[in-house]
Chain A
Amino acid sequence: MHHQDIALEVVLDIYTRVLRIRRFEEEVGRLFRQGQLPGFVHLYIGEEAVAAGVCAALTDDDTIISTHRGHGHVIAKGGDLNRMMAELFGKATGYCKGKGGSMHIADFDIGMLGAIGIVGGGMPIAVGAGLSAWYTDSDRVSVCFFGDGAANEGSFHESLNLASTLRLPVIFVCENNQYGEFTPALQAMNISDIADRGAGYGIPGLVADGTDALEMYRVAKAAVTRARDGGGPTLIEAKTHRRGSHAEGEEAFLGGQTYRSDEEMAAARTKDPLLLLHSYVSENDILPAAQLETLDAEITQSVAEAVDAARDSPAPEIESLFEDLWV
């Protein structure tokens, strides 16, 4: 990795975001295996570089929209671990008061407009966030994260075209982890680069190494600048890997069936975004090893505290069912 042009404090900031996501997700996986979390959980391990790099290129005003695999996006945008964890437990102190859960975390105060459990459901809304930035002459940009699988939904095509024709400040970030559930991306489309689809709508389509957080930052930064300058949307395809299951508990519900080879999994492990960034940070003496360990310990501690706080939090009152309604 050659990223000497990226300021050291930015590198450290991105590293911190990656690490926070990793430690949070590892703990969520453990909690799920222990049967402590209700519902479905889709972890972001292996893909942290995408959210961390892109969100580091954004201001607090810029907005993002996320997917069913959304924890990483919330954390990268600056989300609060306590309120996230409480939401995963379905507690009243969670971001959505326990009404949303893993697939629906939002934090409108930091421009996180929501995780969406419907594949492809976020892209049109991201276009709308871009529309309102244009309408109000704001220099806000709108980012939409979505998967390779989502690029086969009609909403992807309609959204790219709409954003393009209206020349809106929208950045479409496709996280190509090479699978939609258990179907290989290359079986679900006859092109190898989703980025090529940008051309069909007259917008730039870029391929980036989604395991390299600093490259993601650089590519996103350029797209953000272009969007703020009125240049319109960009499609960024981040090539990455999902380290674990599509959804936690997958081995059990697939009844022993597999869909990825051991070699493929081993190859993915060599492209671990945290390890890659850790080597870069160490080799370039960005922070002494001891301080890196302290940072890790602090993050691990804050995740543990989030779990304790979530456990100690009250379940929602039944009356809260009828709050946040128009009647």
Chain B
Amino acid sequence: MPRKTYVAAIQEALAEEMRRDERVFLIGEDVRIGVFPSTRGLHAEFGDRRVIDTPISELAVAGAGIGAAVTGLRPIVDLMFGTFLYLAFDQIANQAGAMRYMYGGQTKVPLVFMVQSGAGSSAGHHHSQAVHQFFMNMPQIKVILPSTPYDGKGLLKSAIRDDNPVIFLHSLSLGGKRGEVPSDEYLLPIGVADVKRSGSDVTICAVGPTVYTALEAAEKLATEGLEAEVIDLRSLSPWDKRTVLESVAKTGRFVAVDESFPTCSAASEWAATVAEEAFPDLKAPVQRVTNADVPMPFSPVLEKAVLPSAADVVAAVHRTLT
């Protein structure tokens, strides 16, 4: 199987879906030249009508995507960095997520918002935040944050074919990561987790870049004779409760690892659900490992210290043993 980078896999998903369906188009700032290589080359193949550069006007561009979606197209709106979604908040929170329901089922909003999310480039608070947790909080918006090229491609293709608004987050820190991507077409279902490592002593749930943090921690734990099960949720909304609860039924211990500000993080939701629905299975209180509760600092040493580390995960697992 060919090995490809994460960004190349995303680029392939975009190109394949645009070839397959005329209604699919890409719109955003500098998507033609490709600020991120994930959109590069698409303009050459698909031309001006289907790869549209815009002014720097996130609110209008997001809203234009919604308007195009409810009138029969399937837009992919690229807003570059996750934090730029904040400028489009009204259109996403008040409109995109609610329209289908609010208008009594008269319409659907088949739309993908695509952005880079998360830290790792030492760019300071405005360019380094993970934003998935905000959108998990909104009903009827799907949220995806894949960790591998394979997952990225398969999930983005499904997102483009989905009839609901989907926030597709790709991780800046994983862009160059390589992995196997089949040459034949495939789709991955939204809302289904992938067990990246199996084990019977503790369940570690992660998403995006923290999957690697969790796997690194699992290796360390293995040297202590502890086998961790690492679940990569891949989708944050909807998320695969069943896989998590089944794992906890087996291990009795749960650690949630998430690159979010701690309050109302993705980890909070997972932990609350496990505490609520798997209480009889638990041998110890659930644990959360998240960012420190501070804005994102610039200095590489501080940025690193803010983010969940493998040592933090190991320590959290140890807490479930005492």
A→B interface (CB under 8 Å): 38-40, 87, 90-91, 96, 98-104, 116-121, 149-150, 152-154, 180-183, 187-189, 253-255, 257, 259, 315-316, 318, 320-322, 325, 327
Note all chain B residues with C-beta closer than 8 A to A187: 53
Contact across chains for A38 and B127 when beta carbons are under 8 A apart: no
**Hey, what's the 0/1 contact readout for B29-72 against A, CB within 8 Å counting as 1?**
11001110100100000000000011111111000000000000
Cα–Cα, bound, A118→B33 (Å) = 21
User: How many whole Å from A316's CB to the nearest CB in chain B?
Assistant: 5
Cα–Cα, bound, A259→B59 (Å) = 26
Contact across chains for A149 and B55 when beta carbons are under 8 A apart: yes
Known: A40-B127, A104-B125. 12 other contacts (CB 8 A): A39-B298, A99-B298, A99-B302, A101-B298, A102-B124, A103-B127, A117-B126, A152-B55, A181-B30, A182-B33, A316-B301, A327-B293
Cα–Cα, bound, A99→B126 (Å) = 12
Q: How large is the interface on B (under 10, 10 to 19, 20 to 34, 35 or more residues)?
A: 35 or more
User: How many whole Å from B70's CB to the nearest CB in chain A?
Assistant: 21
Q: In this complex, what residue of A is CB-closest to B304? A: A318
Cα–Cα, bound, A5→B125 (Å) = 45
Note all chain B residues with C-beta closer than 8 A to A102: 124, 298
Cα–Cα, bound, A181→B83 (Å) = 17
The DSSP consensus for interface residues of chain B is: loop
Contact across chains for B124 and A152 when beta carbons are under 8 A apart: no
Contact across chains for A183 and B302 when beta carbons are under 8 A apart: no
B294 at the A/B interface (Cβ < 8 Å)? Answer: yes
B199 at the A/B interface (Cβ < 8 Å)? Answer: no
User: How many whole Å from A38's CB to the nearest CB in chain B?
Assistant: 4
Q: A39-B124, A149-B56 are in contact. Are A98 and B30 (CB under 8 A)?
A: no
Question: 24 A-B contacts, Cβ less than 8 Å apart?
Answer: A38-B122, A38-B298, A39-B122, A90-B298, A90-B299, A98-B297, A99-B295, A100-B124, A101-B298, A103-B126, A117-B123, A117-B125, A117-B127, A120-B87, A121-B126, A153-B56, A153-B87, A315-B299, A316-B299, A320-B302, A321-B294, A321-B302, A322-B292, A322-B294
B→A interface (CB under 8 Å): 29-30, 33-35, 37, 40, 53-60, 83-84, 87, 121-127, 292-295, 297-302, 305-306
User: How many whole Å from B284's CB to the nearest CB in chain A?
Assistant: 27
- When the two chains form the complex, which single residue of B29, B87, B292 contacts A321, counting CB atoms closer than 8 Å? B292
Q: A118-B87, A154-B60 are in contact. Are A321 and B127 (CB under 8 A)?
A: no
- When the two chains form the complex, which single residue of A100, A119, A154 contacts B298, counting CB atoms closer than 8 Å? A100
User: How many whole Å from A105's CB to the nearest CB in chain B?
Assistant: 10
Note all chain A residues with C-beta closer than 8 A to B292: 321-322
Contact across chains for A188 and B121 when beta carbons are under 8 A apart: no
User: How many whole Å from B150's CB to the nearest CB in chain A?
Assistant: 24
Note all chain A residues with C-beta closer than 8 A to B127: 40, 103, 117
User: How many whole Å from B41's CB to the nearest CB in chain A?
Assistant: 10
Q: A39-B124, A149-B55 are in contact. Are A101 and B33 (CB under 8 A)?
A: no
- When the two chains form the complex, which single residue of B56, B300, B306 contacts A90, counting CB atoms closer than 8 Å? B300
Contact across chains for A255 and B298 when beta carbons are under 8 A apart: no
Q: A117-B127, A118-B126, A149-B55 are in contact. Are A181 and B29 (CB under 8 A)?
A: yes
Contact across chains for B37 and A255 when beta carbons are under 8 A apart: yes
Contact across chains for A99 and B33 when beta carbons are under 8 A apart: no
Contact across chains for B302 and A98 when beta carbons are under 8 A apart: yes
Contact across chains for B297 and A321 when beta carbons are under 8 A apart: yes
Cα–Cα, bound, A102→B87 (Å) = 22
Cα–Cα, bound, A254→B39 (Å) = 12
Q: In this complex, what residue of B is CB-closest to A89? A: B299
User: How many whole Å from A185's CB to the nearest CB in chain B?
Assistant: 9
Cα–Cα, bound, A315→B300 (Å) = 9
Q: A90-B299, A188-B56, A318-B305 are in contact. Are A103 and B123 (CB under 8 A)?
A: yes
Contact across chains for A101 and B294 when beta carbons are under 8 A apart: no
Q: A188-B55, A321-B294 are in contact. Are A90 and B123 (CB under 8 A)?
A: no
